[in-house]
Amino acid sequence: MPTIPPVTLNNGVEIPQIGLGVFLVPDAETKQAVSSALDVGYRHIDTAMIYENERAVGAAIAESDIPRDALFVTTKCWNSDQGYDEALAAFEASRDLLGLDYVDLYLIHWPVAAKDRYVDTWKAFEQLYADGRVRAIGVSNFQPPHLQRLLDETETVPAINQVELHPWLQQREVRAFDAQHGIVTEAWSPISRGEKLADPTLQQVAAKHSVTPAQVILRWHLDLGNVIIPKSVDKDRMAANLDLFTIRLDEDDHAKIGALDEGSRVGPDPDDMDG
């Protein structure tokens, strides 16, 4: 079983660089998927209130004999739960569903700037952190102006910014801002939902290293220092997505993948998400 190297967050907490995402995994299949993932070596699971599968994630964890402190669980505060009191209540609901004493990482799912509640939401997150109910707090889908506002108006720099990020949306500006402020960048849809695995450039790099296009993309992320949370319900693909540690991409591979950036998204643009 591979050992997943950790990335150290700005408060000293370590997050395994690879986790399993469970977006769009139906509740009824999630327990099996998470159990399979734990079986093949995953120790980090990424869920959210809006995925409606937190209870099943918790059930798989409860059934496993892996010590709690060897696991890393992320969940997220949904847009309709933004606001100080609402976020505290939403956190307790998630914690209950997960059946955990504490959550490792709690994220604001989207800034929803039109509602203008993310600063108050973040203050609730600071309280959760101060209480020890979460080990780290972060954000998702935040653009530099949203991050800058948190830096200006609150006491805590987010530990993580989880954004859509893959070779076709390389997020150079967001990554540079994150890095400048000690915020770890985490990639969602890290393989672009598998939609472009037939890309000829990727196929060529994959053939050169005798690996799959998905593995090329995931290795590229690790080289950039991104935390990644590929989703799969298939145990073989889960294992393949962890089997990245003997792949060595060279400068030429990086130049080729770097040139795939076209700014195209598979999910919503954070500036259009208003509810």
Ligand X SMILES: NC(=O)c1ccc[n+]([C@@H]2O[C@H](COP(=O)([O-])OP(=O)(O)OC[C@H]3O[C@@H](n4cnc5c(N)ncnc54)[C@H](OP(=O)(O)O)[C@@H]3O)[C@@H](O)[C@H]2O)c1
**Separation between Cα atoms, residue 167 and residue 171, nearest integer Å:** 9
Is 118 a known active-site residue? no
Dig out the tokens for 48 from the structure: 């959210």
Q: Which stretch binds ligand X (CB under 6 A): 123-131, 167-175, 230-238, 252-260?
A: 230-238
Dig out the tokens for 132 from the structure: 């020890």
Provide the minimum distance between the beta carbon of 189 and ligand X in the complex, in angstroms, as a whole number: 4
**Separation between Cα atoms, residue 11 and residue 9, nearest integer Å:** 5
Tally: H helices and E strands in the chain: 10, 10
Q: Which stretch binds ligand X (CB under 6 A): 88-96, 235-243, 247-255, 256-264?
A: 235-243
Question: Is 78 near ligand X (CB under 6 A)?
Answer: no
Question: Is 188 near ligand X (CB under 6 A)?
Answer: yes
Dig out the tokens for 182 from the structure: 């000690």
Residue 193's CB is within 10 A of a number of other CB atoms, namely: 15
| Site map (CB under 6 A) of ligand X, residues 81-120, x = contact | ----------------------------x-----------
Among positions 4-43, residues that touch ligand X (CB under 6 A) are 21-23
Whether the CB-CB separation of 78 and 47 falls below 8 Å is answered with no
Q: Find the catalytic residue in 51, 102, 106, 118.
A: 51
Dig out the tokens for 53 from the structure: 């599968």
Q: Point out the residues that are catalytic.
A: 51
Q: Which residues bind ligand X (CB under 6 A)?
A: 21-23, 46, 109, 140-141, 162, 188-194, 197, 214, 229-234, 237, 240-241, 267
